[in-house]
Structures are given as structure tokens and as C-alpha cells.
Amino acid sequence: MPKRTDNFSKFITQKKNSAIKESIKQEKKKEKKDRQEAIEKRFAEKRLQKMAMLEAKGKITRGEAPGNKPPAFAKASAGGANNKQQTAKGAMPLNKYIAHCGIVARREAANLVKEGKVTVNGKPIIEPGFKVADTDIVKVAGKKITPNRNLVYILLNKPKDYITTTDDPQGRRTVLDLIRYATTERVYPIGRLDRNTSGVLLLTNDGELAQKLSHPKHEVKKIYHVVLDKDLTKKDFDKIVAGVKLEDGLAKVDAIAFTDSKDKTQVGLEIHSGRNRIVRRIFEHLNYDVRGLDRVMYAGLTKKNVQRGKWRLLSEKEVRILKFMNKSYT
């Protein structure tokens, strides 16, 4: 019996403590709310004062002065709770939202928005930065989309004769044909490899990561193995080191070396540039025919233990490194 009494006393004490904690919690919430309202009120007052000054100077008409508007208008204009676009939970730019849905990468998403193919809650939106929340209904070309919660990251060792795209009007084989059993999620490639270029290619439905790796400012490191139709001369080797002037500007490499000291047709090239067909164009500009081009590394990831035409899922550690853009890999 004493034991039951002690346990009951302990239970009552815990209940009292919980009630006290809850009381303190509610007081803090009330204080926070009061502070927010005071800030909003002060902000609205300052805005009204500024508009009154502008009216006095004749820069706006009386009908435009917020002093003639109801208090609710002033509060909303001051950035209060009525501004759904700024305060809604999970709000994010529209193009980012579309990318998170696994439709296309962020840049292509921005183009879809600008082309008028996207609606939010039934209204067409043409501003990629328009803020949307999880509760908004977003449609692309009339079809509702939702953010993809099951993120997938695939490393493919791409072979030749496959198109780096999600579909091809001409019916040619695409990289998605190689990973059709990897996931049921809709993924897309990050960047492109030419049809006749092989090697490391990443595919994902993580729009944010795709945007990060594709953006020039991150200068993602890539290493290529190049096979030429003839020996690379010292003169041309030095030209590449100095930078080759192409039609769209100077093309620079980070490092260049022969992969075999006895074979001057095989070259290793490290580059950060994401310009289209940059490696092939460098050698073609110097009158070399590229017989083979293989990307052996991309953003620190290699095709080690992944046979040509095969794939593997990235590990959690690899994904984490990519997301934080570890400097040793960029």
C-alpha cells in the first residue's frame, strides 16, 4: 500500500509540473504574439507617416494615401499575417516548387512559368519567384503536381549511343532506358553528355541539388579521358594550358596530362566549365578528331565498380557531400 501511495504522489507531482510547464509555454506564446503585434503596429504607423509626408509634398494623391484605408489594409501592407505569400508554412519560389515535384530541373521550371504553362490556385503565374506553399494547388499544363518526398540519386556509367534526355522524338535510346528498373520515381539527368560521350552521369528527382550542381558559380569539377586521332603536339598542349579562344569565349582547363607517357593520343583533362561540348570543341578547334570521350569523374563521384551501362544508388554520405558542396569535390 505505501508503494502505491508513493507512486500516486509521484504521478500527481508530474501532473503539477506538466501544468506549470504548459502555463509557462502559453505565457511565452502570448508574449511572442504581443511583440509581433506591436512590431506590426509600429511598422504600419511608420508607413502611414511616410505616406502622409509624401501626400503633403504632393507626390501622391489623397486617394492613394493609406490613411484612407481601413486598419486591416495597413496591417497587411506592413507585412502582417494577411501576406500569405510571405508567411505561409513551407513557402518557396514557384520554379523551385516545380523542381521539387520532379517535373524538370529548376531552370527549365522557370521557363515553363514564363511561358504561361503554370497556374497556382487556378490563376496563371508568369513570375518564377512567386511564393507558393504546400497548401496551394499548382498545375503544369493543366495537370496538378505535388512535391516529391521520396528523393532518389542514381549514378549511371553511360555508354555511347544513348541520348541524355528524358525522351526523344526520333525514338532513339535514352539514358532512362538504362535505369528503368532503378526506381518508380520520375528522375531526370543533371546536365548532359553527348550521344557519343560515355561515363559518369547523375540522375535525380531532387530539383534543388540539380540546380546547385548545374549552376556555373559552383564550378563542379569534371575529369575526362580523351582519345584523339593523332598525337597531341607540345605546341597544342601548351595552347590548351594557356586557354583556347572559341566562338563563345576563352576555354580554360584546370589540368591536362597524358594518361600514358608512351601514347600522346590519350589525354586526361580536368575542367570546371559547364559549357556545351566544351572538351570536344577545344580539340576540334586545334584540328583534332576526338575518337573517344569518357567522363571518369563528376563532382567527386567516379564510375568505380560500375560497369558500362550499369547504375548504382548514391550512399547517404555521397548525397550529403554533394548537398554541402564539400570544397574538396568542387
Which of 127, 145, 163 is the C-terminal boundary of a domain? 145
Domain total in the chain: 3
Give CA–CA dist 148/209, Å, rounded: 13
Structure confidence by residue, pLDDT tens digits, 155-180: 999 999 999 988 888 889 999 999 99
Residue 82, domain member (yes or no):
no
Give CA–CA dist 203/133, Å, rounded: 26
Structure confidence by residue, pLDDT tens digits, 196-247: 999 999 999 888 888 888 877 777 899 999 999 999 999 999 999 999 999 9
Are both 229 and 310 inside the same structural domain? Answer: yes
Domain ranges, residue 122: 87-145
Which of 77, 111, 134 is the C-terminal boundary of a domain? 77
Grid cell 593520343 in the structure block, residue: 265
Residue 260, domain member (yes or no):
yes
Q: How confident is the model at residue 284 (pLDDT cuts 50, 70, 90)?
A: very high
Which of 101, 129, 145 is the C-terminal boundary of a domain? 145
Residue 96, domain member (yes or no):
yes
Are both 60 and 158 inside the same structural domain? Answer: no
Give me 283's grid cell: 580539340
Residue 44, domain member (yes or no):
yes
What pTM does this model have?
Answer: 0.59
Are both 160 and 236 inside the same structural domain? Answer: yes
* CB-based contact 133:89 (threshold 8 Å): yes
More confident residue, 8 or 243: 243
Are both 106 and 57 inside the same structural domain? Answer: no
CA-to-CA separations, 205 to 20, 93, 152, 184, 311, in angstroms, rounded: 47, 17, 6, 11, 16
Are both 37 and 72 inside the same structural domain? Answer: yes
Residues taking part in catalysis = 194
Q: How confident is the model at residue 23 (pLDDT cuts 50, 70, 90)?
A: low
pLDDT at 15 over 50: no
pLDDT at 84 over 70: no
Give CA–CA dist 132/123, Å, rounded: 12
DSSP 314: P
Residue 46, domain member (yes or no):
yes
Mean pLDDT estimate for the chain: 80
Residue 68, domain member (yes or no):
yes
Q: How confident is the model at residue 32 (pLDDT cuts 50, 70, 90)?
A: confident
Residue 313, domain member (yes or no):
yes
Are both 180 and 239 inside the same structural domain? Answer: yes
Question: What is residue 208's predicted lDDT score, i.e. its pLDDT?
Answer: 81
Q: What percentage of the chain exceeds 70 in pLDDT?
A: 75
Q: Which long-range contacts (CB under 8 A, 24 or more apart) does 105-113 make?
A: 105/188, 105/190, 105/207, 105/210, 105/211, 105/214, 106/207, 106/208, 106/210, 106/211, 107/211, 107/214, 109/207, 112/140
